[in-house]
Amino acid sequence: MLPNQRREKILDLLKEDGSAKVITLARIFKVTEVTIRQDLEKLEKDDLIIKEHGGAYLKNIKDQVSSFSLTHQENLEKKERIAEKCLEYIENGDTIILDSGSTTTEIAKKLRGHRNLTVITNALNIALILGAETGIEVIMTGGEFKPPTLSLTGQKAADFFKGINVQKLFLATAGLSLKSGLTYPSISDIVVKKAMIDAAETTYLVADSSKFSKNAFASLGALSLIDYIVTDSDIDDSHRELFKVHEIELILA
């Protein structure tokens, strides 16, 4: 991996987790701690992060958490359309999992006023959006808090799903491709996403078309893990054919 590529992946990880230790980054990227410190110095010089003893954290993370805002707000109009389409697949009496993420947050906003639903989530902001709705029961996982995504992650979050069966999962992703499958910036998320998929009868991947052919650092597995992809109409023909070959039903918003 070239230095610029590594620094981009480090920044993606910090945008997901909020902070990271030098020793952890060195192990993840299989380079020396000296190399990681040089990477962090360059990212700090570019005014993207703040170094601290033994690691670094994302700039303005405290302001973001205090305002309960998410970092990924691009393509918001497409995400709103995707969320609206997802409502067609949510029925009264359903128990669903809403993964953390900006698109799943839009789904949560549109569920206001619905009745007789149970929503399981690892996202604090989604719990707050739906927690006061009298017709919706909200259940949260445990786990380690990730400030940028306002979510809970790690093995404890994954263990919550043991023995749980739900009708539908609305899953987020950072990127997807034929070679790498579903990918995420943070390794700690992989075990949680896998546990969510195992708990659900049907998995809907919600992703705007900018995520296609994009690879984040950690791979969850093949595209065959999901049943449906809900995306926007800007998807190109090559991706339409890819999903058809892999027998994944495409739902366009």
Report whether 84 contacts 109 (CB < 8 A). Answer: no
Residue 182 CB-density burial (10 A; 0-12 exposed, 13-18 middle, 19+ buried): buried
> Is residue 65 in some structural domain?
no
Task: Report the domain count for the chain.
Answer: 2
Q: Which domain holds residue 7?
A: 3-59
Instruction: Report d(CA 208, CA 15) in Å as an integer.
Output: 19
Q: Let me know whether 82 and 196 are in one domain.
A: yes
Q: Let me know whether 95 and 39 are in one domain.
A: no
> Is residue 55 in some structural domain?
yes
Task: Report the pLDDT value the prediction gives residue 107, as an integer from 0 to 100.
Answer: 97
What's the chain's Rg over C-alpha atoms?
18
pTM of the model: 0.83
CATH number of the domain where residue 54 is located: 1.10.10.10
Task: Report the pLDDT value the prediction gives residue 72, as an integer from 0 to 100.
Answer: 62
Q: Let me know whether 92 and 133 are in one domain.
A: yes
Q: Let me know whether 25 and 120 are in one domain.
A: no
> Is residue 66 in some structural domain?
no
Q: Report the alpha-carbon angle 38-8-212, nearest 5.
A: 165
- Render 12-40 in DSSP notation, one character per residue: HHHHHHSEEEHHHHHHHHTS-HHHHHHHH
- Averaged pLDDT in 10-residue chunks for the chain of 253 residues: 88 82 88 92 89 85 66 80 96 95 95 92 95 94 90 95 96 88 88 97 95 85 91 88 84 93
Beta strands in 78-150 (DSSP E): 95-98, 117-121, 136-140, 144-146
Task: Report the pLDDT value the prediction gives residue 66, as an integer from 0 to 100.
Answer: 63
